[in-house]
A and B are shown apart, each in its own frame.
Chain A
Amino acid sequence: MLLQLFNVDLTLGTFKLDSVTLNVDQQEYLIIIGRTASGKTTLLKTIAGAYRPSSGKILIDGSDITTAPPEKRNVAYVSQIFSSFDPMNVQGNIEFGLRARGVPKPERAQLMNGIVRDLGIEHLLDRMPATLSGGEQQRVSLARALVTSPKILLLDEPLSMIDPETKGPIIRLLKAIPEKYNIPVVHVTHEWDEAYALAGLIAVMHQGRIIEAGDPEQIFNEPRNYHTAKLAGFYDMHKGVATLTDSGSTIKLDNGLELKSRMKISGSVYACVRPEGVKIRTSNEFNNFEGRIVEVFREKFGFRIIININNIEFTALAGSKPTRGDIVKVTIPEDSVYVVPNTGI
């Protein structure tokens, strides 16, 4: 393991990182995902050396760097905002780390030329950072980080300031980094699509704790708790009580509505349904309801509609525009009802 965190605790005002344990392999692409203020950026900055844990250990390549200053960790941190070092031009920015380390000028030029060629930014070297587009700034940030040959690359929401057309190429670039440079990447985001596209491993953070970690497919299809399911795209999550049946379980929601699921589970649960699992005007053996359309939103693929069924709202997708207030027949196939136990997280 190249990066290991053992029971890392940290208190910052009222916020607390709570016993964080992580293991990251040499060429792993780890995504840490969580809602705003879940602690993901704090964790990343703790690995970078901005904060000193109150207890626990951080090891990089077997060396304990828990109390080492950032410049002694050999990790490269790329922040959410483009941290340009003014008034240096792009070349000055990329060479900054090498200059700080006392690398002689000819060697600096050689290292920089290699990295700018890799990232396709040779033509930007004389430009001032303020004149670059979001995508160009992010490439320069990556070049500046990678040219120092870090042992780990730490990315704090690197796609948040980039327009949608530029995201695709940058995502390809990021995905190639672990193998190309033989380093692990730890990338923090709150965007599920970004996480799903890039991750080799996903860790979900909530209130300063890692509540779930696993491969992306497992986290997406079989989340183990409420907050992971919410991040993984289950729009509608309703509390209820599950009882086992021959073919799965029946979940009696708090409003009396009964949903059948193929999952065998009992007790206090959340019934989770993705919008694509809610079908309008089709029939099924179970889970047929009548509801009223209470809101319609335009989306890229058509329309997202909110349907009120017995005072509980479900989200569905529609190709043609429905009318608000219409009464519609709704069915939710049993295999579209995913159930997570109500564990309080």
Chain B
Amino acid sequence: MLVGTPFAYLLARNDFKLKEVIDAIIDIPIMVPHVLVGIMIVLAFSSTYGLGPFLQGIGINLIDTLIGAIITVTYLSATYSIRVVESAIKMINTDVELTARTLGSTPAFTFIHVIVPRIWKSIANGAILTWARAVAEVGALLVVAYYVYFNGNYVYPASIYIYEGYVALGLAGVVKYSAALLIIVLATFIIYRLVLRHIL
């Protein structure tokens, strides 16, 4: 939400050089297998390639860390949030913003008080889709953050844990974990829809 919403506004309201390139980069997670995205991230940030040595020099390590996993799923899933919010902003007539601006409202005040109240539902929809997409991620995490060392323990993303369980123990060994994840996601979506209906 914090990254995708301003970015969506930028794309919806501005034409600039290389916009098509930026658009294509945002759509990469839809275009290619996520394993490939994982490989791109490792090439860019591992300890021996790209920005990795520099980041390690200042104490930041993205591979097999929580921050690496978050950045990976954020990039892979934010596409949905950006596109949903971008479409909602495009639906708002630009005259509304111009009216507000000529009344003395700065771009930030206009965005917060005029635009956000009109698109909050799309922001919420984008956010839950992004979260769901992040929960479902496997391919890139297999490469970037197969496990995460967090708070003294090795933590596996749920999707990877289930996949590994299936490979090692077979179907019977992972049914309960699969069912648990399904129930959590389904319950979250149902609660979200009920809350949304209650608010409206």
Contact = CB atoms under 8 A, between A and B. Distances in A.
A49 B95 CA distance: 12
A79 B105 contact: no
A86 B94 contact: no
B102 A85 contact: no
Contacts of A100: 100, 103-106, 109, 113
B57 interface: no
Contact of A97 (B93, B94, B105): B105
Given A50-B94, A79-B95, A87-B117, A70 B109 contact: no
A80 B104 CA distance: 19
**Among B104, B106, B109, which residue has the most Cβ atoms of chain A within 10 A?**
B104
B19 interface: no
A87 B101 CA distance: 18
Contacts of B104: 71, 74, 97, 100-101, 148
B174 interface: no
Contacts of B101: 49, 69-71
Interface string A144-158: 110010100010100
Contacts of A45: 98
B107 to A, nearest CB: 8
How many of chain B's residues touch chain A, expressed as a range? 10 to 19
Given A48-B98, A79-B98, A86-B118, A148 B103 contact: yes
Nearest to A148: B103
A45 B93 CA distance: 14
B141 to A, nearest CB: 40
B100 A85 contact: yes
B99 interface: yes
A154 B100 CA distance: 13
Nearest to B114: A85
Contact of A49 (B93, B94, B102, B118): B102
Nearest to A77: B102
B91 interface: no
**Among A77, A81, A84, which residue has the most Cβ atoms of chain B within 10 A?**
A77
Interface of A: 45, 48-50, 69-71, 73-81, 83-87, 96-97, 100-101, 144-145, 148, 150, 154, 156
In the A-B complex, list the 6 residue pairs whose CB atoms are closest, starting with the nearest.
A97-B103, A70-B101, A79-B95, A100-B105, A83-B96, A83-B99
22 contacts: A49-B98, A49-B102, A71-B102, A71-B104, A71-B106, A73-B102, A76-B102, A77-B98, A77-B102, A79-B95, A79-B99, A81-B95, A83-B95, A83-B96, A85-B96, A85-B114, A85-B117, A96-B113, A97-B103, A97-B104, A100-B103, A145-B102
Given A79-B99, A81-B95, 11 more contacts: A49-B98, A49-B101, A70-B98, A71-B102, A74-B104, A79-B96, A83-B93, A83-B100, A100-B104, A145-B103, A148-B103
